[in-house]
Structure 1
Amino acid sequence: METRRNWFTYIYLTFFGIFVCYSLFGGILNIGVSTKYPFLWYGGILLAMGGLWLISNSAAIILSHFDIYRFRLRSRIPGIIAEAVIIAALILAAGAVRIWIIRYLPVQPQSDFQTYYNVADLLAKGTLKRDGAGYCDYISQFPHVIGYPYILSLIFKVFGASVTTGLYFNLVVSLLSVFFVNRIARLVCGRAAGVLAMVLAAFWPSQVLFINQMASEPLFTCLSLLCIWITAYLFSPSSSARDIRIFVLNILLGIMLAIAGGVRPVSVVLLIAIIVCTITYKAGNAEASNTKAGLIKTCMARGWIRAIFLLAGFLICSQLISGATARAIDRKLPDTTVSFGYNLMVGLNVEAKGAWNEQDAKFLNDRFIETGSAVEAHKASLEQALKRIKEDPEGIANLLFQKYALLWANDDYGSYWNLLFMEQQHNLTPERKEFINSVAIWNNIYYIICVYMSLIAGIFLWFRKRAGTVHILILYFVGIAFLHMVVESQSRYHYSILPVFAILAAVGAAEIFRFHRHREEQSCGSQSEAAGPEHENRSIGEQLSKKQEPGIEESKAPVFTGEDKNTVAGNRFDMLDAIQKGHVTVTVTEAYLKEKEEKLKEDNKE
């Protein structure tokens, strides 16, 4: 398939560059604030970034110069086995680290996390309406609150209701997220990038520390990455021939996005990002002009039709989820036109810096008690939010940028919630406190490096003529960043974007290698077709996934490290057959044919 960029592409790439630079600037300043020698940290981080750039480019130059990327095993099996072993080892290691955190840093659910657990317990027992009237009122105001507990209640019915069960469920979905990161990066940039992205996601410090919280973020992130993986497959060239599967997957993608929206409403940002890139879909010339193609294949060759089926699956499933939620709590739910009223009011509270606060929570609760309606309570909150904009527009404008810095300038949410809850529960020993604080420092360095590599990926994407899965990741981040500049925000709300940074960091490393490989081919006077205009603007993963279809001429792709499942290899050329059919003419044709004929005659005589 092919996705053309347009003027909007340059707009969101520009915002991506601005946002990421702002994150780097804020992150570097933030990391030295609480240290004795802050400027030593500032200089150290800048030197580390410069060193990473030099090392990455030096490694790429060496690999390109010695043509290591052209190495190919005779059989695909060893490469497949090696990749599977690496993936399994990384998942086991990531699981072991998370299990250790759950056991070494025990935390009981509090705040929103306790609400999730209690609602899940009531749902598992089937007594939510009878014993949880207060929770039903709360869910009527915030319908997504029931999403994670409902799925958790299904686990409770099988394994029993306990905090340990919930934490190990989060452990499983977080490991699935690590696997999905590998699959996405592999489709986009190849095996090596897939492994690199997986390593970054598997051992991301803040996500590892957060595993002992009964939070909805791990499940939402897992569902979001699954949706991105499906989209990456739909965007791969090899998928275009499987028309029925593509039809089903587009509807399934919409359903999965709706389920993710039932856990956290921000999935609508990912939906918009996918639709924006999908409507620019264009089938290859041969595919689009094939008059013998069936109706489904013809429809699936057009991006806007794909987007319609995707959106239909999302809307239908969303309505079913809303109806089921209303029946489960026996309350009327607010519609989408006013359901964001409270979050907007909180997000525009200058004094609270756009975070949750008692004042706004009391305002919503009072309006709900007065009217008995979540719809009216959200309407009143929306009016209050608009009033704040009119009264202090300059303060609101300042707040927007302040909120961005608070959300993206550090990655402290894992250490913050652990320190807060463990201190309140009186199990924060000096050893645990020292461990959490030390992890927090190195975690922010880890975060800054990955954001820096993501910026490099964005710079390379600026010069590509075609869009793809990576552009969905860019749009997803930009959309989340804009959204939380306006609505309620806190540091853990960027949890689901961290795997995106891991993938983009791997893309940045892959693009550095690709750049030097291309320069090496040009300097050597290579006429490799990898330098062709169509091949040049396709990502490495899309190059590898291209597969020839009947009636479609396939361009030759360069050889990369290992073997891709879609690469056609091992074909033998039959010289005699080609000469007899007139496909090949050489000066020794007659002698060649004569020799073969004489040999056949001798064999027949014998």
Structure 2
Amino acid sequence: MKLLGKIVTVAGCLFFIVALVSSFTNSLTLFDSALTTVTTALVTLGILLLVSYIADRYLSKRLFILSLISLAFLIRIVWILWIQTPPASDFLYMHTAAKSAALGDFSFADTEYFTSWVYQLGFTLYEALIIKLFGSSLFILKFMNVVFSVGTTVIVYFTAARMFNEFCGRIASLAYALYIPNIIMCSVLTNQHLSTLLFMLGCLFLIKGWDSKYRWIYIGLSFGIANIIRPLGSVFIIGLILFFLIHQLRTYSKPQAWKIIAKVAGVVAIFYLVQSLVSYAILSADITKYPLSNREPYWKFMVGLNAKTDGAWSMEDARYVLQFELGEERNRAELEVIKERLADKPELAALMTRKLVSLWGSGDASTSWSLQEMNKPDLSVTLNKIERMMYIVMSAFGVLSLLALYRMKQTHESHLYVILLLAYATVHLVIEIQTRYRLDLMPAFIQLQSYGVYKMYSMIQSFNIAGQKNKSAEM
């Protein structure tokens, strides 16, 4: 393994250590004591290994895939039928606008919400299309969330199986299917379900390699359309380029390398072409006066650098900027605040540390989003406890996985997902954070930890075999 590959692996290991320690520490408030937390985590670990054993030993590949799809779909459809989560916050704005758009009324595009964050039109128009085709029932939109979430579960299976082995594919997809936020957020009209499916599909195409004549086109289209739904494409484009430079460039001869460089450039070109075409389409249709973009680019940085809120959304900041006209005047005001917050270097370093611990170690907010106004406090507490235990155990397996990957003599396809996690975590050191944002990269998190499960499972099997041999020798 080359030096850069080793650096990526070590950084990934440190990332999972931070997630493990901070999530364990933050979970103590949910349980009676540290001993109870440890005991519950060990029980969760045991259950995960037992499920791994059953999935590995008793199910054929076809039967496993059918069981996986059925399980993931059934749990999610039961949830959205049981929990009638109403749209709220940004999701309410977009859903209300989508209903108007379905009727041909695009006046909402002139409101400050959509003139500031024009990129929100992408998901809004998707919802409008669904409403136009199937009616305004919330169930249809939530049902589509279920379909996208199940689709991502299947992609996780094929991705982990290709990167590592069949066992890892099974345990990663089961973990994704059963991870509480992935289930209960299906009743929330967030754009994350569709965008995650498309981004992970693009990544699956990517790790399959460049041998296919048209695969680079599929990657560019997947990333490009996903970015229209949720603007995280820059993270994935950066991940693609770094992965190519660290992992793949040196594995090709010079003529081959130039061909692959051309395909990587083609991916980037298609990605931006999709953005331009969609922007041109909505401008030509007079839906909005602006291309898909963020016309208040400094807002998330201003909030993300607020030490008082540890980088979370701030009402005080929101009230402050609203006194300035959107555009150059507001941009200047926000830049001034950003400069002030960057000036105190010790406080800035402390803030970034707190944000890293908070984003990757705090309890997930999915119960707040999904169960709001449902008056089910006991259910919320139970789900939070289950989520915490699963997250702690997966973080521990993530550490084990990266340690095992470090011992490999060559770089590995899984480095793409390590790079994506590190890039995403780095970006959020300076922009606004919510634990909900963690869901965008949870497929990467879960796929990587699956190799740790495999290594522990293999060690246990080795001990059992060694024990049986010793008993046979004694006889």
**TM-score, structure 1 as length reference:** 0.69
Offset of residue 111 of structure 1:
0.7
- What's the offset of the Cα at 1:325? 4.6
Match of 2:36 in 1: 41
CA contact (8 A) 1:29 1:42 kept: no
1 CA distance for matches of 2:141 and 2:44?
A: 39
Provide closer, same or farther for how the CA distance between residues 180 and 46 of structure 1 changes in structure 2, counting only shifts above 3 A: closer
- How far off its partner does 1:226 sit? 0.7
Change (3 A) 1:258 1:362: farther
Question: Alignment partner for residue 382 of structure 1, among 335, 355, 358?
Answer: 335
Do residues 266 (structure 1) and 232 (structure 2) align?
yes
- CA 1:396–1:300 in structure 2 vs 1: closer, same or farther (change >3 Å)? closer
Query: Does the alignment pair 1:133 with 2:113?
Result: no
1:28 aligns to 2:24 (yes or no) = yes
Matched residues, percent identical? 21
Are 2:128 and 1:153 equivalent residues in the alignment? Answer: yes
Cα displacement string for residues 96-144 of structure 1 (whole angstroms, at most 9, x for unaligned residues): 111221122211101111012112222222211x35531xx32232132
CA contact (8 A) 1:45 1:445 kept: yes
Deviation of the 1:354 alpha carbon: 0.8
3-state SS of paired residue (2:323) = helix
Q: Quote how far apart the aligned CAs of 1:331 are.
A: 2.6
Deviations along 1:497-546, one digit per CA (max 9) or x if unpaired, are 222222112222334567899999xxxxxxxxxxxxxxxxxxxxxxxxxx
Deviations 1:170-201 (A, max 9, x none): 11111111111111112112322212111111
Taking a change above 3 Å as real, the CA distance of residues 341 and 50 of structure 1, as seen in their structure-2 partners, is: same
Aligned to 2:219: 253
Q: 2:194 — aligned with what?
A: 219
Q: CA deviation at 1:326?
A: 4.6
Identify the match of residue 403 of structure 1 among 318, 341, 355.
Answer: 355
1:440 corresponds to which residue?
Answer: 384
Shift of 1:46: 6.6
In the alignment, structure 2 segments of 5+ residues that lack a partner are 465-475
Change beyond 3 A, Cα 1:466–1:140: farther
**Corresponding residue for residue 427 of structure 2:** 483
Q: 1:34 to 1:204 in 2, by over 3 A?
A: closer
Name which of 280, 288, 305 aligns with 1:330.
288
Deviation sequence 1:242-300 (CA, Å, 0-9, x none): xxxx3422133122212222222223112211221223425877xx59xxxxxxxx557
Q: Which has the larger radius of gyration?
A: 1
The alignment partner of 2:429 has SS state of helix
How far apart in 1 are the matches of 2:349 and 2:13?
20
Selected match of 1:341 from 268, 278, 298: 298
SS in 1 for 2:428: helix
1:192 lines up with 2:159 in the alignment: no
Work out whether residues 107 and 418 of structure 1, in 8 Å CA contact, stay in contact via their aligned partners in 2: yes
- Identify if the C-alpha distance between structure 1 residues 471 and 227 changes in structure 2 by more than 3 Å, giving closer, same or farther: same
SS at match of 1:230: helix
Number of residues of Structure 1 aligned to a counterpart in Structure 2: 460
1: distance between equivalents of 2:380 and 2:206? 37
Q: 1:376 to 1:332 in 2, by over 3 A?
A: farther
Instruction: Report if aligned partners of 1:247, 1:300 keep a CA contact under 8 Å in 2.
Output: no
State yes or no: 1:463 paired with 2:407: yes
* Structure-2 separation of matches of 1:104 and 1:343: 35
Deviations 1:555-579 (A, max 9, x none): xxxxxxxxxxxxxxxxxxxxxxxxx
Q: 1:192 to 1:334 in 2, by over 3 A?
A: closer
Check whether the contact 1:140–1:329 (CA below 8 A) recurs between aligned residues: no
Retained in 2: the 8 A contact 1:344–1:382? no
Aligned to 1:361: 318
Partner Cα separation in structure 2 for residue 334 and residue 503 of structure 1: 32
In 1, Cα distance between the equivalents of 2:357 and 2:283?
37
Separation (CA, whole Å) in 2 of partners of 1:97 and 1:335: 36
Q: Are the aligned partners of 2:110 and 2:288 in contact in 1 as well (CA < 8 Å)?
A: no
Residues 9, 406 of structure 2: 8 Å contact kept:
yes
The residue type equivalent to 1:382 in the other structure is L
Checking the alignment, whether the CA contact within 8 Å between 2:26 and 2:362 is kept in structure 1 is yes
| Correspondence 1:98 to 2:93 | no
Instruction: Give the corresponding residue for 1:474.
Output: 418
More helix by share: 2
Unmatched tracts of structure 1, length 5 or more: 60-67, 70-77, 241-245, 290-297, 521-606
State whether residues 119 and 293 of structure 2, in contact with CA within 8 Å, keep that contact through their aligned partners in structure 1: no
Quote the Cα distance in structure 2 between the aligned partners of 1:107 and 1:151.
Answer: 20
Q: How does 1:491-502 map to 2 (within 5 A)?
A: 491-502=435-446
Residue type at the aligned position of 2:138: V
Q: Is the 8 A contact 1:278 1:306 kept in 2?
A: no
CA 1:194 to 1:166, structure 2 compared with 1: closer, same or farther past 3 Å?
A: same
Contact 1:343 1:487 in 2 (8 A): yes
CA contact (8 A) 1:347 1:487 kept: yes
What is the distance in 2 between the residues matched to 1:443 and 1:505?
Answer: 16
CA–CA distance in 2 between the matches of 1:403 and 1:271?
Answer: 24
Say if 1:282 and 1:301, in contact at 8 Å, map to a contact too: no
Output the CA distance in 1 between the equivalents of 2:137 and 2:41: 46
